[in-house]
Amino acid sequence: MGPVAQVSDALWRRPRVLLLLLLLPPLLWLGIVYLGSLFALLAQSFFSIDEFSGLINYEFTLRTYGELFRAANLDIILRTLAMATSVTIAAAIVAFPIAYYAARYARGRWKALFYLGIMLPLWSSYLVKVYAWKLILAREGILNWLFETLHLDWLLAAYLSIPVLGGNSLSVSWTGTFLVFLYVWLPFMILPIQAALERIPPSLLEAAGDLGADRGQTLRYVILPLALPGIVAGSIFTFSLTLGDYIVPQIIGTSARMIGQAVYQFQGTAGNIPLAAAFAVVPIVIMGIYLTVARRMGAFNAL
């Protein structure tokens, strides 16, 4: 018996050893490279920065976390939460009809078309998508041109004069940031909703009809409750991705920062790693709470 066969036999007798050998490389990589880095970062959030020298003071303190609650920083957190919430709600509303049509009515060739129609934008380059919106929202871009051609520029001007939502132009407004977020994360909402809807047996809908429910009632009392885990699953993506993004608000939006930008700037130009680390903990905690609630609602079965 050759050495290879001997090794194989030894492994057959000891399945635990085989399991360990299989798991060792990925665990070493993810455990050391990833978790190691993550903990190294989180540990630094318990240090503070010396205000005079700008050097990190390696003593345990909760002062850095306290700084999160200063008005300016709290604003950043609340602003990001508001954006993530509104993007998530809007994505659910826009995604639902697409997912519903793809799951219930699209057949054969159309089904494939719908599937690719959702997958291609999902996987096409994130930066290219952001760039496309820079073209669309630019002052000389297609959206302004459309409003002017339709003689509706007064409407756009009126909208842009609304305090928080508007701004000098769409590309430097809260609305612009919102639209881009909605666009880039929308496919992440469609897929889980579609998966949830596909699991509803058609006979349930027929039963609802037989019992006298009209379309609206069937939607309200049968389809929506069954689709809810899918919606919650999709919202995990849209919420989490918006929470941590720093590129979209940097390119399209106001000068008011979001959490991702704060993390980026504190670690980069400001050189305040402890505060950046503390800021990074915020989305982790928020997502932790969110995931716990989502698990209760059965969202993980819809992923």
Partner 1 sequence: MRSDRASLGLKIAAVAGLLFLHLPILLIFVYAFTTEDTSYQWPPPGLTLQWFGVTWNRPDVWEALSLSLRVAAISTAIALVLGTLCAAAVARSRFFGRETISLLVILPIALPGVITGISLRSAFNLAEIPFSFWTIVAGHATFCVVVVYNNAVARFRRTSGSLIEASMDLGANYFQTFRLVILPNIATALLAGGMLAFALSFDEVIVTTFTSGQQQTLPIWMLEELVRPRQRPVTNVVAMVVVLVTAVPILIAYYLTRGTDTVAGQGK
Shortest distance in whole angstroms from residue 2 CB to partner 1: 9
Shortest distance in whole angstroms from residue 237 CB to partner 1: 9
Task: Give me 107's structure tokens.
Answer: 């057949």
Nearer to partner 1, 174 or 286 (CB): 286
Shortest distance in whole angstroms from residue 55 CB to partner 1: 14
- What string of DSSP letters covers 115-163? HHHHHHHHHS-HHHHHHHHHHHHSTTSHHHHHHHHTT-HHHHHHHHTST
For the chain, what is the radius of gyration of the CA atoms?
A: 25
Nearer to partner 1, 163 or 201 (CB): 201
**Chain centroid to CA 54: how far?**
34
Shortest distance in whole angstroms from residue 280 CB to partner 1: 5
State the number of CA atoms in the 13 A half-sphere of 114 facing the CB: 19
Task: Kindly tell me the number of DSSP H helices and DSSP E strands found in the chain.
Answer: 16, 2
Nearer to partner 1, 63 or 129 (CB): 129
Nearer to partner 1, 7 or 89 (CB): 7
| Contact (Cβ atoms closer than 8 angstroms) between residue 234 and residue 91 | yes
Nearer to partner 1, 191 or 232 (CB): 191
Percent of residues in the chain assigned helix, strand, coil, to nearest 5: 75, 0, 20
Distances (CA, A) of 58 to 36, 45, 55, 270: 19, 10, 9, 18
Shortest distance in whole angstroms from residue 62 CB to partner 1: 20
Nearer to partner 1, 95 or 227 (CB): 95
Shortest distance in whole angstroms from residue 42 CB to partner 1: 8
Q: What are phi and psi of 40, to 5 degrees?
A: -60, -40
Nearest-CA neighbor of 234 among 128, 93, 136?
93
Shortest distance in whole angstroms from residue 159 CB to partner 1: 19
Nearer to partner 1, 132 or 172 (CB): 132
What is the spatial distance between Cα 100 and Cα 114, in angstroms, rounded to a whole number? 11
Shortest distance in whole angstroms from residue 163 CB to partner 1: 27
Contacts of residues 72-75 at CB distance under 8 Å and 24 or more positions apart, as own/partner, are 73/262, 73/279, 75/256
Nearer to partner 1, 162 or 211 (CB): 211
